[in-house]
Amino acid sequence: MLDVVVIGAGPVGLAAGIEAQRRDLDTLILEKDALCNSFIGYPTRMEFFSTPELLEIGGYPFATRDYKPRREEALDYYRRVAVAEDLNINLYEAVTDLHGSDGAFTVKTEESTYETRKVVAATGFYDIPNRMDVPGEDLDKVRHYFKEPFPYALTDLAIIGAGNSAAKAALACYRHDANVTLIVRDDAIDDGVKYWIKPDLENRIEEGSIDAYFNTTVEAIEEDVLHLDTPDGPEQLDNDFVLAMTGYKPNYEFLDTLGIAVQDDEARTPVHDDEETFETNRDGLYLAGTVCGGCDTSRWFIENGRFHAEKIVDHISSTLEAEPATV
């Protein structure tokens, strides 16, 4: 029997694995896709908002060429940490179910089953985009992930949203000769957009280089046009592609499969003790990292989420000492 199964090999899952393994707990990390899979989906040349020391785990220094790390440097860093710690990780093995109870869980994956005393879910939020739920959203030309600007050069591109991802995509695509129109539900660019990005975008809008509709929603998407609901009434916009930068949310279906209840608050926060132990309503099952914030995906990030690992493993160690294994 294992002591701990960690679900998810993002930065926080890796931090939890390191912490557990260093305390001599028999640990397995199960990851449904690649190592640090969320980063693989990020824009190719993405620069992190955080400086490198704030992304470090396990005490390993993260040296970067510039002031902020790039996506590829972060992928290299976390891989090197996983190798240096000799973490026990099974990649491309999705967890599909969880049976049993504290001290004697059975974790089911697509390929196997594992007996473990404790489970930590560090499953993030990047797999499930927030949908607009409008006709045409499933057309090929509508994308919820932005990789790079090149496919959109010389096209009519609508970008939905007003957060950091929308702002960065709009600026990058405009600078690669896309005809960009930003469609914003509220009356301004989000206050949360980073201070070095927001004025750049606002100035491009003011000078007319990027078109913008505020207080506007998309009503329907067709192959060549978008139907908008604007303050001046319905409008049609010529359109080749839509980048719906409408955010992401945790996989609530999976949390439900794990038996984790959800609070009736605006963020739909998964039930867990976020002050001390991070244990959920199901004893012996913990949440770690960005998934803890529910739909409030900016509450926890790597900078603060990496510290969940120590608290969780403190609690796991103390309860395992109190209840020695029977198997």
Q: Which residues bind ligand FAD (CB under 6 A)?
A: 7-13, 30-33, 37-38, 42, 48-50, 94-95, 122-124, 126-127, 165, 254, 289-290, 301-303, 305
Q: Based on CB atoms, which residue is closest to ligand FAD, 91 or 139?
A: 91
Residues 6+ apart with CB under 8 A from 302: 11, 12, 50, 54, 55, 289
CB atoms within 10 A of CB 150: 11
Greatest Cα-to-Cα distance within the chain, rounded to the nearest angstrom: 70
Structure tokens at 121: 């879910």
Q: Based on CB atoms, which residue is closest to ligand FAD, 47 or 229?
A: 47
Length of the chain: 327
- Smallest gap from Cβ 161 to ligand FAD, in A, equals 12
- Smallest gap from Cβ 311 to ligand FAD, in A, equals 15
Adjacent-strand bridge partners of 211: 181
- Smallest gap from Cβ 201 to ligand FAD, in A, equals 16
Angle at which helices 11-22 and 71-84 cross, to 10°: 20
Q: Based on CB atoms, which residue is closest to ligand FAD, 9 or 180?
A: 9
CA distance 92 to 34: 6
CB atoms within 10 A of CB 193: 21
Q: Based on CB atoms, which residue is closest to ligand FAD, 28 or 320?
A: 28
**Closest C-alpha among 286, 319, 320 to residue 305:** 286
Q: Based on CB atoms, which residue is closest to ligand FAD, 41 or 151?
A: 41
- Smallest gap from Cβ 37 to ligand FAD, in A, equals 3
- Smallest gap from Cβ 273 to ligand FAD, in A, equals 17
Residues 6+ apart with CB under 8 A from 94: 30, 32, 109, 110
CB 11 within 8 A of CB 307: no
CA distance 56 to 46: 18
- Smallest gap from Cβ 5 to ligand FAD, in A, equals 10
Q: Based on CB atoms, which residue is closest to ligand FAD, 225 or 271?
A: 271
CA distance 64 to 252: 35
Q: Based on CB atoms, which residue is closest to ligand FAD, 215 or 298?
A: 298
